[in-house]
Amino acid sequence: SQTIHQWPATLVQPVGSPLSLECTVEGTSNPNLYWYRQAAGRGLQLLFYSIGIDQISSEVPQNLSASRPQDRQFILSSKKLLLSDSGFYLCAWVTGRSARYTFGSGTRLTVV
Amino acid sequence: GENVEQHPSTLSVQEGDSAVIKCTYSDSASNYFPWYKQELGKGPQLIIDIRSNVGEKKDQRIAVTLNKTAKHFSLHITETQPEDSAVYFCAASRNTGNQFYFGTGTSLTVIP
**Is residue A85 pLDDT above 80, yes or no?**
yes
Chain B 42-101, CB below 8 Å of chain A: which residues?
42-46, 49, 89, 91, 93, 95-96, 98-100
Q: Give the residue with greater pLDDT, A41 vs A100.
A: A100
Which chain A positions have a beta carbon within 8 Å of B91's beta carbon? 101
What is the 3-state composition of chain B as percent helix, strand, coil, each rounded to the nearest 5? 5, 55, 40
Task: Please judge whether A100 and B34 are an interchain contact, meaning their C-beta atoms are less than 8 angstroms apart.
Answer: yes
- What is the pLDDT, as a whole number, of residue A20? 96
| pLDDT value of residue B4 | 94
> Per the CB < 8 Å rule, is A49 touching B89?
no
**pLDDT score of A62:** 78
Element (H, E) at B33: strand B32-38
Q: With 80 as the cut, is the pLDDT of residue B97 above it?
A: no
Give A-chain residues touching B107 at CB under 8 angstroms: 41
pLDDT classification of B99: cutoffs 50, 70, 90: confident
For residue A60, what is the DSSP state?
A: S
| A13 or A2, higher pLDDT | A13
Which residues does chain B have within 8 Å of residue A101's beta carbon, measured at their own beta carbons? 34, 36, 46, 91, 100
User: Does residue B98 carry a pLDDT above 80?
Assistant: no
> Would you say residue A99 has pLDDT above 80?
no
- Residue B48's pLDDT band (cuts 50, 70, 90): very high
Q: Does B104 touch chain A (CB under 8 A)?
A: yes
Q: List, as one string, the DSSP characters of B1-24.
A: ---EEEE-SEEEEETTS-EEEEEE
B19: pLDDT strictly greater than 90: yes
Which phi and psi angles does B41 have, rounded to 5°?
75, 10
pLDDT higher for A76 or A97? A76
Residue A101 has its nearest CB partner, among B34, B95, B105, at: B34
With bands split at pLDDT 50, 70 and 90, how would you rate the model's confidence at B90? very high
Per-residue pLDDT, A40:
74
**pLDDT per position as a tens digit, B60-89:** 999 999 999 999 999 999 999 999 999 999
User: Among residues of chain A, what percentage have pLDDT more than 70?
Assistant: 95
Identify which has the larger pLDDT, B85 or A98: B85
Partners of residue A42 in chain B, C-beta under 8 Å: 104-105
pLDDT for A76 equals 96
For chains A and B, count residue pairs whose Cβ atoms are closer than 8 Å. Answer: 46
For residue B22, which of B38, B33, B32, B30 has the smallest C-alpha distance? B33
Asked if A99 and B46 come within 8 Å (Cβ–Cβ), the reply is no
